[in-house]
Copies of this chain bind each other. A is one copy, B any other.
Amino acid sequence: MNELVKFEQYLRTHGQKMTRPRRIILKAFIETEGHLTTEDILREAKKVDPGIGQATVFRTIRLIADAGLAREALQDDGARKFEHLADHPHHDHLLCVGCGKIIEFLSPAIEKEQQKIFSQYAFLPRGHMMELLGLCPECQAKQKKGE
């Protein structure tokens, strides 16, 4: 669990403390794949310590994101979602608007073009969010049947 070390390091260098709730929340978050709401994370964390409050989850997930161990996923609507970056190289998302399925992909060609845009406008890159929206093969089939 390399992430715990990274998180401790981040906290120390920012004058903050490692605590039991933070450890539990980080562990629950890292060990769960996918796009999680704070509620999801709270549910997992409560399995270890039911006393953990949701306010602490909100506070901690922000720290985890600031430490570079998580990024916010695009919210379709409603609650924010986060995904961890442990053993998880950079990628973008292909989302089915029918069933909500998420496919992760990486396009080196797109990444390269994005860099071109940054330099064209003399921006210092700080990341990007990209989500492709479409209808997956299954939902296309379902839609045809329905008609």
Contacts and interface: CB of A to CB of B under 8 A. Distances in A.
Contact of A135 (B109, B116, B123): B123
A134 B130 contact: no
A117 to B, nearest CB: 6
A128 interface: yes
The oligomer's copy count stands at: 2
Interface residues of A, number: 34
A130 B130 contact: yes
Q: Among A117, A126, A127, A133, which residue has the most Cβ atoms of chain B within 10 A?
A: A117
A132 B115 CA distance: 9
B129 A129 contact: yes
Q: Among A109, A110, A131, A140, which residue has the most Cβ atoms of chain B within 10 A?
A: A110
